[in-house]
Amino acid sequence: MVSYRKYLVERTLTFIISMFFSITIVFLVPRLAPGDPIKTALEQVIVGGGSEIEKTVEEYKRMLGLDKDLATQYIFYIKELFRGNLGYSIMYFPTPVIDIIMRAIPWSIGLLTTTTILSWIIGTFIGAIAGWRGEGSRFFNILAFIALGLYVIPYYIFAVILAYLFGYIIRIFPLSGGYTPGLMPSLNLEFILDVIWHSTLPALSIILSSLGWWFLSMRSMIINVKGEDFILMAEAKGLRKNRILWKYAFRNAILPQVTGLALSLRNVVGGALLTEVIFAYPGVGYLIFTAITNMDYPLIQGAVLFLIFTTCFLNFAIDILYPLVDPRIRYGEE
What's the chain look like in SS3? CHHHHHHHHHHHHHHHHHHHHHHHHHHHHHHHCCCCHHHHHHHCCCCCCCHHHHHHHHHHHHHHCCCCCHHHHHHHHHHHHHCCCCCECCCCCCCEHHHHHHHHHHHHHHHHHHHHHHHHHHHHHHHHHHHHHCCCCHHHHHHHHHHHHHHHCCHHHHHHHHHHHHHHHCCCCCCCCCCCCCCCCCCCHHHHHHHHHHHHHHHHHHHHHHHHHHHHHHHHHHHHHCCCHHHHHHHHCCCCHHHHHHHHHHHHHHHHHHHHHHHHHHHCCCCCHHHHHHCCCCCHHHHHHHHHHCCCHHHHHHHHHHHHHHHHHHHHHHHHHHHHHCCCCCCCCC
Q: Is the dihedral of CA 238, 239, 241, 247 positive or negative?
A: negative
Q: Which pLDDT belongs to residue 334? A: 42
Q: Which pLDDT belongs to residue 44? A: 54
Q: Which pLDDT belongs to residue 37? A: 57
Cβ(329)–Cβ(323) under 8 Å?
yes
What's the rounded Cα separation, in Å, for the pair 154 and 145?
A: 16
Return the minimum-mean-pLDDT range out of 133-137, 146-150, 165-169: 133-137
Q: Which pLDDT belongs to residue 31? A: 67
For residue 279, pLDDT beyond 80: yes
Cβ(235)–Cβ(147) under 8 Å?
no
pLDDT tens digit sequence for 211-232:
888 888 888 888 888 777 777 7
pLDDT tens digit sequence for 87-134:
778 777 778 888 888 888 888 888 888 888 898 899 888 888 888 776
Higher pLDDT, residue 155 or 136: 155
Q: How confident is the model at residue 152 (pLDDT cuts 50, 70, 90)?
A: confident
Both ends of the chain: CA-CA distance in Å? 16
Question: Across-strand partners of 96?
Answer: 88
Higher pLDDT, residue 33 or 179: 179
The number of beta carbons lying within 10 Å of the beta carbon of residue 222 is: 24
Most confident range (mean pLDDT) of 35-39, 208-212, 296-300 is: 208-212
For residue 185, pLDDT beyond 70: yes
Domains of the chain: 1-91+294-334 (no CATH), 104-292 (1.10.3720.10)
Q: Which pLDDT belongs to residue 43? A: 55
What's the rounded Cα separation, in Å, for the pair 150 and 208?
A: 6
